[in-house]
């Protein structure tokens, strides 16, 4: 009996020591990132213990695992529903710890804005830090309501514009895509996922990263960034444009997959080899706009004046998306994009 008790004590002591080491190592990297981005003026970040996180998720039970192949769990913490983001493997090609700390840092910087997923705190006692956020749901894969699409797009544009302008150093999200967008119970869109976020030094308009370490979802990556590693505000504008296109054509839940006779783009092999933004541009140039828009969304519109107005809204939003991806005219700033979407939204 004494032997079993001693083994149990040793195991608990070993776990406690490991958690302390993780807390110290993770805390060091997080503090460095906070100093770099916030000049020592960061908002306080609440910390939770590993035991609190384990209890909140029922020890990361499968029933609380929200998304396949991802690391997000639902839980209850301090009598409120929460999202818990936990990395259990190396998520990126390099610097996993630094990227998760960047997510925490930027989340803490923007949590006061209604269009960002609010960070409630973090836990530093696991191998990689765990984020605790307000509860919200991912945007639905099928969004046949145009009003909802325009509203979501406008709110995400406002969020990205805030990132670009609210801080001494311009913050570039770098990973604007559907899996990083949530809807709260009131239907407010919220941007999250800052692991790849980079900052542009004050007084500069770009920053260069190693082109061999370019990361993200291919369809959403700006050409210049992919080929040269140069990051500018346009890097986010391009990604947002692709997001808007996928919302309007009804493909944001199945990026870069063309399914036989279901594909909108299968009329010639060369078109299928293009990225989403290139395909959209090609259809627009050929005067086939109606063919590319979400048929379910179009089908919900009547033949009356209201329906015609909604179709004009869709086309206007699609043309704006092509400006964002650099296919039509000068690439706008995100603030201009947000204003234009507000204008389109008011066409009711």
What is the SS3 assignment for 85? Answer: strand
The answer to whether 67 and 120 have CB atoms below 8 angstroms apart is: no
CB atoms within 10 A of CB 269: 7
Q: Which two structure tokens, joined as six digits, stand for 136?
A: 């919200």
Q: Which helix (H) or strand (E) holds 340?
A: helix 334-345
Long-range contacts (CB closer than 8 Å, 24 or more residues apart) made by 282-288: 284/318, 284/319, 284/322
Spatial neighbors of 186 by CB under 8 A, at least 6 apart, are none
| Residue among 33, 103, 175, 219 flagged as catalytic | 175
Closest CA to 220 of 159, 176, 259, 157: 176
| Residue 278 among the catalytic residues | no
Spatial neighbors of 293 by CB under 8 A, at least 6 apart, are 248, 249, 314, 315, 318
Closest CA to 146 of 301, 323, 334: 301
Residues annotated catalytic, as ranges: 175
């Amino acid at each position: 009996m004494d032997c079993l008790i001693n083994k149990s004590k040793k195991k608990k002591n070993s776990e406690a020591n490991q958690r302390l080491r993780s807390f110290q190592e993770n805390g060091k990297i997080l503090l460095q990132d906070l100093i770099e981005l916030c000049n020592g003026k960061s908002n306080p970040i609440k910390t939770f213990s590993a035991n609190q996180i384990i209890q909140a998720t029922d020890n990361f039970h499968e029933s609380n695992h929200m998304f396949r192949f991802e690391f997000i769990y639902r839980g209850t913490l301090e009598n409120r529903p929460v999202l818990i983001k936990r990395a259990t493997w190396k998520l990126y090609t390099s610097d996993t710890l630094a990227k998760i700390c960047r997510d925490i840092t930027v989340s803490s910087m923007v949590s006061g804005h209604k269009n960002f997923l609010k960070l409630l705190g973090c836990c530093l006692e696991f191998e990689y830090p765990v984020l605790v956020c307000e509860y919200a749901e991912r945007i639905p894969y099928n969004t046949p309501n145009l009003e909802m699409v325009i509203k979501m797009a406008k709110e995400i544009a406002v969020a990205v514009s805030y990132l670009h302008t609210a801080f001494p150093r311009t913050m570039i999200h770098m990973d604007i895509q559907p899996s990083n967008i949530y809807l709260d119970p009131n239907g407010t869109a919220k941007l999250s996922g800052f692991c790849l976020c980079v900052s542009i030094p004050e007084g500069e308009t770009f920053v260069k990263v190693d082109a061999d370490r370019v990361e993200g979802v291919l369809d959403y990556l700006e050409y210049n960034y992919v080929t040269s590693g140069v990051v500018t505000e346009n890097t986010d504008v391009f990604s947002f444009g692709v997001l808007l296109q996928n919302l309007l054509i009804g493909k944001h839940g199945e990026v870069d997959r063309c399914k036989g006779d279901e594909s909108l783009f299968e009329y010639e092999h060369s078109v299928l080899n293009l990225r989403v933004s290139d395909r959209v541009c090609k259809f627009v140039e050929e005067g086939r706009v109606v063919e590319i828009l979400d048929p379910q969304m179009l089908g919900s519109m009547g033949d009356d004046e209201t329906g015609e107005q909604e179709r004009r809204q869709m086309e206007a939003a699609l043309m704006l998306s092509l400006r964002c991806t650099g296919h039509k005219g000068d690439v706008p700033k995100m603030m201009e994009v947000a204003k234009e979407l507000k204008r389109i939204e008011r066409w009711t």
